[in-house]
Structure 1
Amino acid sequence: MVVTGHVTGADLRLVEERLVNSHTLHGSESLCKLLRYLADNAIKHPGVALKEYQIATEVFGRAADFDPHLDSLVRVQAGRLRSKLFEYYASEGVEDPIIVELPKGSYALAFHPTSISTKTILRVAKEAEASSQVSPKISRPVILLSLLLAVAMVVIIALTLSVMRTSGTVSGGRPVPAALRVFWQKFAAAPQEPLVIFSNGAFVGRPETGLRYFSPDKDSRQAILDHYTGVGEVLAVYDLDHALGSLQRQIRVKRGSLFTLDDAQNNNLIFVGSPAENLTLLDIPSTHEFVFQRVSSGPRKGDLSLVNLRPQPDEPKVFLPSAPGTTLTEDFAVIGLVPGLNPARSVLILAGTTTIGTQAAAEYVSREDSLEQLLLRLSVSENGEMKPFEAVLRVKVVRGVPVGSELVALRKPPQ
């Protein structure tokens, strides 16, 4: 939830009731239900991100096997609600003291008091619409142009407010969450934008006989057929861009196959993907407590695992995802912050045993609620500094989507 200015929980409940009982949302039972759910979450659990899966199953009654990649219900309904909110504030809600928005790419409502200038512009849009109905002497093109200009002004205001809130620069607005600021401080404050290196795994073989990962020990580089980047890595880059964007910091993105050691000397690095696909991780400082290895024997021989080199009591020696050939319901990922080749630089590693685990790791370090948990475990205060650490996440997966992550192992420097 984003709240700007002085807005109380009681205020938000009144806003919720006004919207649900409005003419704009009259008859839209599904949208009212979605609005109530989002508002309730925003008030009771501020900062806790909602996932499509949660909304689909808890609001719209979808089954437990709901797959957002195959069913766009939540995105469609969120788009409808976003349009209805815009319509409401351009008409019957023009005098409302608080505006509710559903920013694109988010399922968290944003609340902010309506400024005088915004009210004036919204009223202009409403009056322009009314003039089209009571002024028959005015030509249709002129009416249309007036409407378009009025609506465009409202859109500009809405977009400007949205962009300013995203960047944390709204005057008197909610500051960037402390957890995000503390965790990303080294990457946001450095002279150079951080360089995100995403896995771009090489494959050898032929489609008709089978493809496998390129092995530098036994394959010639001339045998490489193609390169591949997983969906999880793509979504991870999006989450990282959003997180650092909130700190007014851009990222630079480079595929692993083009990474050079010069890049490592001069930049803070964020590696997305395991060494099985991001082979450049083999050439730079990496994690020392939790490492990726292929299982060497037994029924899981050849599978990628996350090995716990110094297991603590009640910790397993090996973290293994669901077996190949079965439905992926569990994955593991490592989050590691280590010094770079250049001691003045830092390297962040976000890697799962599958692409889904990688996605979950990036989500974990991009969201306020999970970062608060991590910083608490690391004993880092709001004014503290991040030190090197390594952590393992257990990731719950439903139909190829990470729906929950739990911190199951952690190594941090001695106090």
Structure 2
Amino acid sequence: MVTSRTLHGSESLCKLLRYLAEHAIRHPGTALKEYQIATEVFGRASDFDPQLDSLVRVQAGRLRSKIAEYYASEGSADPIMVELPKGTYALTFHAATASSKTVVHRMREPDEDNAAAQSHRSPRAVLILSSLLVISLVSIAGLVASRITGNRSSSADESAPPAFRVFWRGFTSGSDAPWVIFSNGAFVGRPETGLRYFNPAHDSRDAILDHYTGVGEVLAVYDLDEVFSRFHRQLRVKRGSLFTLDDAQNNNLIFVGSPAENLSLLDIPSTHQFVFQRSTSGPRKGDLAVVNVHPWPDEPKMFFASESRTPLTEDYGIVALVPGMNSARSVLILAGTTTIGTQAAAEYVCRQDSLEQLLLRLSVSENGQMKPFEAVLRVKIARGVPVGTDLVALREVSQR
């Protein structure tokens, strides 16, 4: 592919393709971050911030288009197809089929030769194309009508990768959209003079400001919405302070943020193997940690983020799927000891490569439903951005 006419002259795209291919072969199932690609492929400095610089996303988009163009032309006879799915920087490889080539061909925009050919179409061709257009419009109208009436067939999920369909099935198969409950901690003070957490021993509840949330929570909601759009489904979003037990009783829930700020988690079934607690002794007294209730050999009793007086370079997060208050409902918890850990936890279940890695270590019931589990993630951070996430502890838990 890198020697093809399609990629001729696109040295930066060839370099990116080589890097992604080597990583996929040498480190299968390992997630790649924008930061890694930016610094190792495009020579960006160590202070690269993907939230401010879209270089990697733009180049990945260009590479996807070039790959589609390649298979629609000179690569049409290749027995193996390489793809770069949206939402991930992990290449996939699979045997070419007639249907996959048709899809790639349709993705390719007409070139000048095609445009010239279009101007000389015969009346019969125009009639055929017009008929096909009418049929397509009728089909689209039927799809829209079926969406409005809630008639969602299983084929609607086919655009999502298999790992997404397995993991998210319990949240996308019902008629009601799940609630995403994001943390909004109780603060007092003023932004211009300084905010601090509400202290019930000293502060009046009338002074509480509860309309702030972390940047990690915001990005987590965005990532979740991207996933659910693959299933043609919507999310309902609510801040934690407005959450009610009626919401918990009758809906699937996705909690974004730890109980330190998402206080709603204190009122419903939550994690039992890994829990958020503040240390009561030792040099990290008062710091929030992930407590390992039943540590296995070589596992620590507590997982701490970087100390508050040092730059944040490491955090820990929890990803947990637990039964809801109503046994027919599920609760997914995505939380870190800091907002960056929360962002990384959401990214972990919204990226195909990391989700596949998680599923390899989990059990799925005979009817395809995920079984409850609790997991701890170690998050490497650079300039306030998660750049690497590893699964460091995992427990499958029984239904309660």
* TM > 0.5 fold call: yes
- State the secondary structure of the residue aligned to 2:387: strand
> Which residue in the other structure is 1:35 paired with?
17
Distance 2:227 2:107 in 1: 33
Question: Residues 411 and 80 of structure 1: is their aligned pair in 2 closer, same or farther, counting only changes over 3 Å?
Answer: closer
Q: 1:348 aligns with which of 307, 332, 336?
A: 332
C-alpha contact 1:168 1:175 (8 A) present in aligned 2? no
> Which residue in the other structure is 2:173 paired with?
189
Distance 2:104 2:364 in 1: 42
Distance 2:28 2:154 in 1: 16
For residues 212-223 of structure 1, what are the structure 2 equivalents within 5 Å?
A: 212-216=196-200, 218-223=202-207
Amino acid paired to 1:17: T
Moved more, 113-122 or 308-317: 113-122
RMSD: 3.9
Moved more, 73-82 or 118-127: 118-127
Q: How many residues are paired up?
A: 361
For residues 98-177 of structure 1, what are the structure 2 equivalents within 5 Å?
A: 106-107=88-89, 113-115=100-102, 118=105, 122-123=109-110, 126-128=113-115, 176-177=161-162
Measured against aligned partners, the alpha-carbon deviations of 1:285-318 in whole angstroms (never above 9, x if no partner) come to: 2112222222334443332222223333322222
C-alpha contact 1:168 1:174 (8 A) present in aligned 2? no
Gaps of 5+ in 2: 120-132, 141-152
Identical positions, percent: 70
Measured against aligned partners, the alpha-carbon deviations of 1:123-143 in whole angstroms (never above 9, x if no partner) come to: 5754437999xxxxxxxxxxx
Question: Residues 330 and 84 of structure 1: is their aligned pair in 2 closer, same or farther, counting only changes over 3 Å?
Answer: same
CA displacement at 1:31 relative to structure 2: 2.8
C-alpha contact 1:264 1:340 (8 A) present in aligned 2? yes
Q: 1:53 aligns with which of 2, 15, 35?
A: 35
Q: Does 1:17 find its partner at 2:3?
A: yes
> Which residue in the other structure is 1:279 paired with?
263
C-alpha contact 2:374 2:397 (8 A) present in aligned 1? no
> Which residue in the other structure is 1:138 paired with?
none
- State the secondary structure of the residue aligned to 2:350: coil
Distance 1:119 1:274 in 2: 45
CA displacement at 1:105 relative to structure 2: 5.2
Distance 1:406 1:47 in 2: 11
- State the secondary structure of the residue aligned to 1:254: strand
Q: 2:244 aligns with which of 245, 251, 260?
A: 260
Q: 1:204 aligns with which of 171, 180, 188?
A: 188
Distance 1:102 1:377 in 2: 24
> Which residue in the other structure is 2:316 paired with?
332
CA displacement at 1:273 relative to structure 2: 0.3
Distance 1:183 1:218 in 2: 44
C-alpha contact 1:391 1:411 (8 A) present in aligned 2? yes
Moved more, 374-383 or 299-308: 374-383
Question: Residues 283 and 125 of structure 1: is their aligned pair in 2 closer, same or farther, counting only changes over 3 Å?
Answer: farther
C-alpha contact 1:331 1:357 (8 A) present in aligned 2? yes
Amino acid paired to 1:291: V
Q: Does 1:237 find its partner at 2:224?
A: no
CA displacement at 1:258 relative to structure 2: 1.8
> Which residue in the other structure is 1:357 paired with?
341
Distance 1:334 1:117 in 2: 38
Amino acid paired to 1:60: F
Question: Residues 120 and 212 of structure 1: is their aligned pair in 2 closer, same or farther, counting only changes over 3 Å?
Answer: closer
C-alpha contact 1:375 1:381 (8 A) present in aligned 2? no
- TM-score norm. by structure 2 comes to 0.75
> Which residue in the other structure is 1:97 paired with?
76
CA displacement at 1:33 relative to structure 2: 1.5
Question: Residues 104 and 409 of structure 1: is their aligned pair in 2 closer, same or farther, counting only changes over 3 Å?
Answer: closer
Distance 1:175 1:294 in 2: 39
CA displacement at 1:333 relative to structure 2: 0.8
Question: Residues 394 and 341 of structure 1: is their aligned pair in 2 closer, same or farther, counting only changes over 3 Å?
Answer: same
Distance 2:104 2:375 in 1: 48
Gaps of 5+ in 1: 1-14, 133-152, 161-166
